[in-house]
Structure 1
Amino acid sequence: MTPRTTRIPADERREQILDAATAVFGEYGYVAATTDRVARAAGISQPYVVRLFGTKEQLFVETLRHTLGRLLATFRGALPEAVPEGDVEVERLLGAAYVRLVEDRGVLLTLMHGFLMGSDPVIGPVARRGFLQVFRMLRDEARFSPEQVHRFLADGMLINTLLASGLGLAAKGDPDAAQLLDCTTSADVLDALERASA
């Protein structure tokens, strides 16, 4: 008698593919990533990925939405029960949660690829809507002041650049890179850069 194979529910399979796509798009970028690479990373057939998502462009759009959803869920999960308006502790909590999330290079680089493709007629609107969702969440749910929103988003983009560029590695041998890290990042970010560089 042959053993029965366990079927994975469709929603779970979709999540599995989107997680694999996040890693693949993060590693290869939009241009070099393929539905075949995503399928191999997910351990399924390429025709199944195409049947479920259609084109590579649509797969990337769904991956970007998925990643933005993870970002928003991470922020919401870090919020305290009662959120006082303009509380800098809430800013710190969300910042630390963000740094932990983007230590996953697939998440970090998928977000960055999406934002860099802002002029693309299909991907650009999704990236802009996602960025505005983050803005609204910070303003309405985290109750950040306009100055806090500005600082948080600006610091987040700086963190993205430092992590994506591997500046943590450069800091070990370059005193200017080390000084840049010291003057622009918190202990949480320095720890993340250290882990990302290991």
Structure 2
Amino acid sequence: MPRMSAEERRESVVRAAMEEFGRGGYYGTSTEAIARRVGVSQPYLFRLFPGKRAIFLAAAERCVEDTIRMFEEATEGLEGEQAKHAMAEAYTAAITEQPSRLMMQMQMYLAVAAAEQEGDREFGEAVRAGWTRLWDAVHLPLGADVTGTTEFLAYGMLINSLVAMGFPREHRVWEGLEPVPVERGTGGPEA
């Protein structure tokens, strides 16, 4: 089996970090656990990244970028209500099929809040910058409608919370949150 390049190892570390940080949070995850998941030594891990903080921020960045890419793919050729429904469907499927994405998102918010309580605003700057890019990625397909963007992201956070708490899809708290299927090219929801 061919050896992985440093960039491939780095990618493996980011993916493993998303899993580990998603499960244990920033403060509850050791770099040893990440190294073990990837199959590298801690010293090698620190050749790829200068420290735990850099690994976490790379994982947070990847989480945001993956979500932005998913929204861009879902909304290709769509706008307004069609785009909103396509993003909602894509996001609901993604967090159901890849719970580590959801857990990493939730841990990002907690890590920033904890750092800021300690007076560390710098830690959150990168996460906020990513979230701002995510906001823009939602905002444009929704016709640059501030209210629509805010509502979409508010529903998304509610969905995050319900999934994170383990509410089954058939529970009554999900009523009103079901995405409407969109048939591409028809100009509206399926009949």
TM-score over 0.5 for the alignment? yes
Q: 1:150-177, CA deviations, whole angstroms, 9 ceiling, x for partnerless residues?
A: 11100100010011111229x7xxxxxx
Equivalent residue number for residue 104 of structure 2: 110
2:13 to 2, 13, 17: 17
Bigger mean CA offset, 60-69 vs 121-130:
121-130
Native 8 Å contact 1:115 1:128 kept in 2: no
Any runs of at least 4 consecutive aligned residues in structure 1 with deviations exceeding 4 A, and if so which?
A: none
| Superposed CA offset, 1:58-106 (max 9, x none) | 110111011111111111111223x44xx21110101111122223222
In the alignment, structure 1 segments of 5+ residues that lack a partner are 172-177, 189-198
Match of 2:58 in 1: 62
Gap change, CA 1:14 and 1:143, over 3 Å in 2: farther
Instruction: Measure, in 2, the Cα distance between the counterparts of 1:141 and 1:180.
Output: 28
Assess if the C-alpha contact under 8 Å between 1:108 and 1:164 holds in 2: yes
Q: 1:125 corresponds to which residue?
A: 125
Q: Counterpart of 1:123 in structure 2: which amino acid?
A: F
Structure 2 counterpart of 1:139:
139
CA distance in 2, matches of 1:92, 1:185: 11
The one-letter amino acid of 1:21's match is A
Contact 2:89 2:179 in 1 (8 A): no
Q: Conserved in 1, the CA contact under 8 Å of 2:142 and 2:148?
A: no
Q: Is 1:34 aligned to residue 26 of structure 2? A: no
DSSP 3-state at the match of 2:140: helix
1:7 aligns with 2:3: yes
CA contact (8 A) 1:23 1:105 kept: no
Quote how far apart the aligned CAs of 1:123 are.
Answer: 2.6
Distance in 2 (alpha carbons) for counterparts of 1:165 and 1:147: 27
The one-letter code of the counterpart of 1:100 is: A
The equivalent position to 1:186 in structure 2, one of 143, 165, 178, is: 178
Separation in 1, partners of 2:172, 2:141: 35
| Secondary structure class of the residue paired with 1:166 | coil
State the number of aligned residues: 173
Paired AA for residue 48 in structure 1: Y
Q: Identity over aligned residues, as a percent?
A: 27
> For the residues of structure 2 that align with 1:40 and 1:122, how far apart are their CA atoms?
29
Structure with larger RCO (C-alpha < 8 A, sep 6+): 2
Map 1:151-190 onto structure 2 (within 5 A).
151-168=151-168, 178-181=171-174, 183-186=175-178
In the alignment, which of 23, 41, 44 is matched to residue 40 of structure 2? 44
C-alpha distance in structure 2 between counterparts of 1:27 and 1:8, whole Å: 26
Alignment TM-score, normalising by the size of structure 2: 0.82
Deviation (angstroms), 1:46: 1.7
